[in-house]
Amino acid sequence: MANDRVELAFKPLTVPEETIDLIAELASIEGGNARFAIELLWRAGKYADAEDLGVVLPECVRKAVSSIFALVKKSDLATLSLHEKLFLLGIARFFKENMDRAYASLTEAEKAYAIICEEFNVQPHTHTQLWKYLQNLSTLSIVKKAFQQQVNVEEQHLFTCRERLPTNWKENSPQFLKKKGLTQTVQYNKAHMHLFHHILQWRQKLANCPLCSLDLQNEKIFYQDDSFIVLRTKNPKGHRERIMIVYKRHQHTIPYKAYEHALTILSQIGREVFNYAPKFVILDTTFASINDHWHLVASDLDPKSDDFDQILATRWIKVVDNMYADQT
């Protein structure tokens, strides 16, 4: 039923198989309710349109479920033990980082949980204990386990969040943990970056990818959020500073809203990085030489740099004057 509706209502290749499978899984929980599946598909499509995503991601389905009814009760969350909350926070972070994923393995969740424990300087519990936590979260309908006949060792136990966790829980969880006497002893960005980098390498390691080959110990990272990373380019090409903003997912294009956000970030970070120069430029994507991730390069205008002629020959998206307001 869902596949038929996708063919009728959506453009080709805009609804991934993982999204359809998740809708079917959630509909089966409701007794195979076809009307519920169609409602989920329609609402998920609306969320994808509103965010200009281009494809209907599993995260859109989780938003759709939350908009219909709440499966996760705050009272249920309040009954969880400390490490169940830490484990659930790791799961929430994994799905936030991987919006295109309908399911996670227990191994992936365990790695995310370990990073959370590192942040709060607590000893993580064992794999067996986490399996028990997963059973309890499933009983509370916070997660839904999926069973497959043939899976590899990394994917022996697959599960999904049936909906988005209450938005205030994810944001307020660190404050809750502080009340329990726990404080974050590791920089969030650094720990989060390690988790993202590990997941990216585990899923798809590409030889020329600036993120798959990232040296977290030695390379300079200026900024990172859920979508972008700003880092120093490996080859400065004779510049004192040369930076780029990279989209975290392996794809060549990004939605327009994300593009505008990237320009804003790169302009702000560039003002700090290029504070020694009167101006710096953000270069068109034709200047980019890496194919695995959409990215933009920002550079000063040093006439002695190795690529100065190439910079002059490339279209400038934006010129930022460090003395006055931005010029585009």
Q: Provide the token pair at 306.
A: 């190795």
198 has a pLDDT exceeding 60:
no
89 has a pLDDT exceeding 70:
yes
Q: Name the CATH superfamily for 221-321.
A: HIT-like (3.30.428.10)
pLDDT reported for residue 327: 46
Edge-to-edge strand list for the sheet holding 316-321: 221-224, 228-232, 242-247, 295-300, 279-283, 316-321
Q: Decide: residue 107, CB within 10 A, 0-12 exposed, 13-18 middle, 19+ buried.
A: middle
The residue ranking higher by pLDDT, 150 or 232, is 232
3-state helix vs strand vs coil in the chain, percent to 5: 50, 15, 40
Please name every residue paired with 143 in a beta bridge, in sequence order, or none if there are none: 161
pLDDT tier at 241 (50, 70, 90 boundaries)? very high
What dihedral do alpha carbons 122, 127, 132, 134 form, nearest 10°?
Answer: 90
pLDDT reported for residue 9: 81
> Could you tell me if 64 and 47 are in contact, meaning their C-beta atoms sit under 8 angstroms apart?
yes
Distance, CA of 27 to CA of 5 (rounded, Å):
14
Average pLDDT over residues 133-153: 70
Global pTM reads 0.47
- pLDDT per residue over 205-219, tens digit each? 555 566 666 666 667
Domain 88-203 of CATH type 3.40.630.10: no
Cα separations in angstroms, 158 against 77, 131, 260: 21, 11, 36
Average pLDDT over residues 166-175: 48
pLDDT reported for residue 315: 83
Average pLDDT over residues 32-44: 83
Distance, CA of 289 to CA of 142 (rounded, Å):
43
Distance, CA of 110 to CA of 124 (rounded, Å):
9
133 has a pLDDT exceeding 70:
yes
CATH of 2-68, one of 3.40.50.720, 3.30.390.10, 3.40.640.10, 1.10.8.60: 1.10.8.60
List the single range of 80-94, 139-153, 216-230 with lowest mean pLDDT.
139-153
Element (H, E) at 316: strand 316-321
Closest by Cα among 181, 173, 179, 164 to 89: 173
309 has a pLDDT exceeding 60:
yes
Average pLDDT over residues 97-108: 80
Mean pLDDT of the chain: 76
240 has a pLDDT exceeding 90:
yes
List the single range of 10-14, 193-197, 286-290 with lowest mean pLDDT.
193-197
129 has a pLDDT exceeding 70:
yes
pLDDT reported for residue 138: 84
What dihedral do alpha carbons 259, 263, 268, 270 form, nearest 10°?
Answer: 130
pLDDT reported for residue 220: 82
pLDDT reported for residue 157: 56
Distance, CA of 286 to CA of 303 (rounded, Å):
20
Domain ranges of the chain: 2-68, 88-203, 221-321
- pLDDT per residue over 42-71, tens digit each? 888 988 888 888 889 888 888 887 776 655
pLDDT reported for residue 72: 61
pLDDT reported for residue 256: 82
* Coil vs helix vs strand at 296: strand
Is beta strand 242-247 parallel, antiparallel or unpaired with respect to 316-321? unpaired
List the single range of 192-201, 284-293, 295-304 with lowest mean pLDDT.
192-201
> Could you tell me if 229 and 221 are in contact, meaning their C-beta atoms sit under 8 angstroms apart?
yes
Average pLDDT over residues 20-48: 82
Say which DSSP state 213 is in: T
* 106-119 vs 82-97: helix crossing angle, rounded to 10: 110
Average pLDDT over residues 259-280: 90
The residue ranking higher by pLDDT, 51 or 133, is 133
Distance, CA of 249 to CA of 261 (rounded, Å):
16
pLDDT reported for residue 246: 86
pLDDT reported for residue 75: 73
Closest by Cα among 19, 11, 12, 14 to 2: 19
The residue ranking higher by pLDDT, 220 or 250, is 220
pLDDT reported for residue 140: 82
